[in-house]
Amino acid sequence: MVSKDTRTTGAEPRTLSLHARDNIIVAVDALPVGLTARGVKAAARIPRGHKMASVAIAKGEPVLKFGQIIGFASEDIPPGAHVHTHNCSFAAFERDYAFARDARAEAILPVEKRATFEGFRRANGKCGTRNYIGVVTSVNCSATVARFIAEAVNKSGLLADHPSIDGVIPLVHSTGCGIDSDGETFEVLKRTTWGYACNPNMAGVLVVGLGCEGFQIARMKDAYGIVESDTFRTMTIQETGGTKKTIAAGVEAIRNMLPIAGRARRETLPASELVWALQCGGSDGYSGITANVALGAAVDLLVHHGGTAVLAETPEIYGAEHLLTRRARSREVGEKLVDVIRWWEDYTARARMSMDNNPSPGNKAGGLTTILEKSLGAAAKGGTTTLNAVYRYAEPINEKGFVFMDTPGYDPVSATGQVAGGCNVLAFTTGRGSAYGCKPTPSFKLATNSDIYHRMIDDMDINCGDIVDGVTIEAKGQEIFDFLLRMASGERSKSEQLGYGDAEYVPWVIGATM
């Protein structure tokens, strides 16, 4: 996306010009009033990561960054002015989708030349990067019992005899009752629950319900033809006889799973078995310049090695979707993405919201002005390869290469859909410092700027801020890819070391709660 990347040198503060068409420049260092950068005198203080007009922009004219529209001038903007929410506003505009125009056949390495990692080969052929047992709930009413079961096993000492098991995790949520049992909410929760149960990072699963909820475990089992086994059990509090009896029965069920789950051993597997969830949160003005672009370069490497990368967060590609439809494998794939965009326009309109409600106060403080600007940076996480498929939330991902999943932009909900779809690794870019982790899928964080990397060193795994100091996108992409393989092989990310991941299971609630 960045076709022109020139840096100032010497005593002049660092700025970036990202594309020949742009009418703004980005301040890498804060620009004080009266200081000249690239021949333009700053008429106001320009915070780092923010934009300064490089030429006059008349009211109503588009503001361009990355050579793309990020908004429209809401007043006349003179050269040197700070360009932000006070003078640049969101508006809808027509995009040329040019379906499949830039699609190409990707050069995939033969198996013997692919990178490898040490992972768990499951009986169904899928490959995991972790070896967890999950206690999954059908309804919020069983959430406390699920937590008590997981806590009891983790504190019991039972896991000491099974070092290959990463732990027992409670996966609880806030819904499951008061829903339309034939509606969209039920379908999404059913897909999400079964998707987590099937995720290759799970060695065993216990599903716990109350018994009278709208989301009936028996219906899910019938829908998917599920048969209980040594590593898949279900129970309800009402049938088992209350809280204490259910906790005891749950602990016993997991005790019986442990010897089977504990037999799993890591083996050498090709990188083509990795399904990589891509996330960004707490974005800033550097996101689309450093971390997201470098992550995109790493995605291209994984696709080259035969793997799968899953871009998501539909509201955060809004205004950049035309860059993805051009890369769609076919017109059908591209039109499916546009249909998703139209659904979101209708969804937000019905809720009396705007697609531009997405940028958070933190995003704006970091230099992002509109959803259009945020989306152009977010879409960069997807690299440059052909878009092979578009999935609904939590649908099983069965295509290789670069794909897209329809999810909200809210990170825990979005990542939950990706993990339910089968993602066994996750990367998360952040410029403001998101506190996030994910179980059963390990997540590592990429800092967009060096300040947040050093300030939150206990949370950040890789610093991408050094790209503005001269590290190449290609080199940083290789660093990310290498870390991905190490993490997939068992190296613990910072969020895993901190213990994040139990509270980040958040299925998407679309319909009404009655």
Q: Which domain holds residue 46?
A: 6-89
pLDDT digits (tens, 9 = 90+) for 207-261: 999 999 999 999 899 989 999 999 999 999 999 999 999 999 999 999 999 999 9
3-class DSSP assignment, residue 163: coil
- What tokens were used for 104? 């190409």
Kindly state whether residues 51 and 187 are assigned to the same domain.
Answer: no
Q: Are 71 and 46 in contact (CB under 8 A)?
A: no
> What are the backbone dihedrals phi and psi of residue 150, each rounded to the nearest 5 degrees, phi first?
-60, -45
Does residue 121 form part of some domain? no
We report the CATH number of the domain holding residue 162 as 3.40.1400
Looking at 89, 124, 154, the residue that finishes a domain is 89
The answer, yes or no, to whether residue 3 has pLDDT greater than 70, is no
Separation CA 201–CA 131 (nearest Å): 5
Separation CA 454–CA 345 (nearest Å): 39
Which of these, 404, 462, 401, 394, lies nearest to 428 by C-alpha position?
A: 462
We report the CATH number of the domain holding residue 50 as 2.30.130.110
What pLDDT does residue 11 have? 63
Mean pLDDT of the chain: 95
Kindly state whether residues 311 and 436 are assigned to the same domain.
Answer: yes
- Band the pLDDT of 291: cuts 50, 70, 90: very high
Which of these, 388, 165, 24, 23, lies nearest to 15 by C-alpha position?
A: 24
Looking at 89, 120, 155, the residue that finishes a domain is 89
Kindly state whether residues 329 and 422 are assigned to the same domain.
Answer: yes
Kindly state whether residues 54 and 153 are assigned to the same domain.
Answer: no
Does residue 482 form part of some domain? no
The answer, yes or no, to whether residue 8 has pLDDT greater than 80, is no
Q: Average pLDDT, stretch 492-507? A: 96
- Band the pLDDT of 185: cuts 50, 70, 90: confident
Does residue 96 form part of some domain? no
Residues, the chain: 514
3-class DSSP assignment, residue 22: coil
Kindly state whether residues 207 and 257 are assigned to the same domain.
Answer: yes
Q: Are 291 and 145 in contact (CB under 8 A)?
A: no
Burial (CB count <10 Å: 0-12, 13-18, 19+), residue 163: exposed
- What tokens were used for 484? 């991905």
Chain Cα centroid distance, residue 435: 13
- What tokens were used for 4? 């022109």
What pLDDT does residue 7 have? 46
Does residue 169 form part of some domain? yes
What pLDDT does residue 179 have? 85
pLDDT digits (tens, 9 = 90+) for 462-472: 999 999 999 99
The answer, yes or no, to whether residue 9 has pLDDT greater than 90, is no
Does residue 266 form part of some domain? no
Q: What is the dihedral of CA 126, 405, 375, 342, to 10 degrees?
A: 170
Sign of the torsion angle spanned by Cα atoms 134, 139, 143, 145: negative
Letter string b/e over residues 492-507, b meaning 16 or more CB atoms within 10 A of that residue's CB: ebbbbeeebbbebbbb
State the alpha helices, DSSP H only, in 327-472: 331-350, 361-365, 371-379, 411-420, 450-455
Looking at 434, 456, 471, the residue that finishes a domain is 471
Separation CA 281–CA 426 (nearest Å): 13
pLDDT digits (tens, 9 = 90+) for 364-374: 999 999 999 99
Q: Are 380 and 293 in contact (CB under 8 A)?
A: yes
Kindly state whether residues 149 and 53 are assigned to the same domain.
Answer: no
pLDDT digits (tens, 9 = 90+) for 45-68: 999 999 999 999 999 999 999 999
Kindly state whether residues 82 and 177 are assigned to the same domain.
Answer: no
Q: Are 82 and 45 in contact (CB under 8 A)?
A: yes
Kindly state whether residues 279 and 372 are assigned to the same domain.
Answer: yes
Kindly state whether residues 314 and 245 are assigned to the same domain.
Answer: no
- Band the pLDDT of 513: cuts 50, 70, 90: confident
Separation CA 341–CA 337 (nearest Å): 6
Kindly state whether residues 358 and 430 are assigned to the same domain.
Answer: yes
Does residue 167 form part of some domain? yes
pLDDT digits (tens, 9 = 90+) for 102-146: 999 999 999 999 999 999 999 999 999 999 999 999 999 999 999
- Cα–Cα–Cα angle for 425, 204, 412, rounded to 5 degrees: 40
Q: Which long-range contacts (CB under 8 A, 24 or more apart) does 71-78 make?
A: 71/369, 71/370, 71/372, 71/373, 77/53, 78/43, 78/53
Separation CA 134–CA 419 (nearest Å): 13
Q: Average pLDDT, stretch 445-450? A: 97
The answer, yes or no, to whether residue 4 has pLDDT greater than 80, is no
The pairing of beta strand 6-7 with beta strand 15-17? antiparallel
In the Cβ-directed half-sphere of 131, how many Cα atoms lie within 13 Å? Answer: 24
Q: Average pLDDT, stretch 304-323? A: 97
In the Cβ-directed half-sphere of 509, how many Cα atoms lie within 13 Å? Answer: 16
What pLDDT does residue 511 have? 77
Q: How many domains does the chain have?
A: 3
Separation CA 93–CA 506 (nearest Å): 33
Does residue 160 form part of some domain? yes
Separation CA 63–CA 83 (nearest Å): 9
Q: Average pLDDT, stretch 326-340? A: 98
**HEC-encoded secondary structure of 97-161:** CCCCCCCCCCCCCCHHHCCEEEEEECCCCCEECCCEEEEEECCHHHHHHHHHHHHHHHHHCHHHH
Separation CA 123–CA 424 (nearest Å): 16
What pLDDT does residue 1 have? 40
- Cα–Cα–Cα angle for 242, 244, 250, rounded to 5 degrees: 95
Kindly state whether residues 79 and 151 are assigned to the same domain.
Answer: no
Does residue 104 form part of some domain? no
Q: What percent of the chain has pLDDT over 70?
A: 98
- What tokens were used for 437? 């982790």
Kindly state whether residues 462 and 323 are assigned to the same domain.
Answer: yes
3-class DSSP assignment, residue 482: helix
Q: What is the pTM of this model?
A: 0.95
Q: Are 299 and 333 in contact (CB under 8 A)?
A: no
3-class DSSP assignment, residue 365: helix
Q: What percent of the chain has pLDDT over 90?
A: 91
The answer, yes or no, to whether residue 282 has pLDDT greater than 80, is yes
Least-confidence region, from 264-278, 348-362, 414-428: 348-362
The answer, yes or no, to whether residue 433 has pLDDT greater than 80, is yes
Q: Which H or E element spans position 298?
A: helix 291-304
- Band the pLDDT of 2: cuts 50, 70, 90: very low
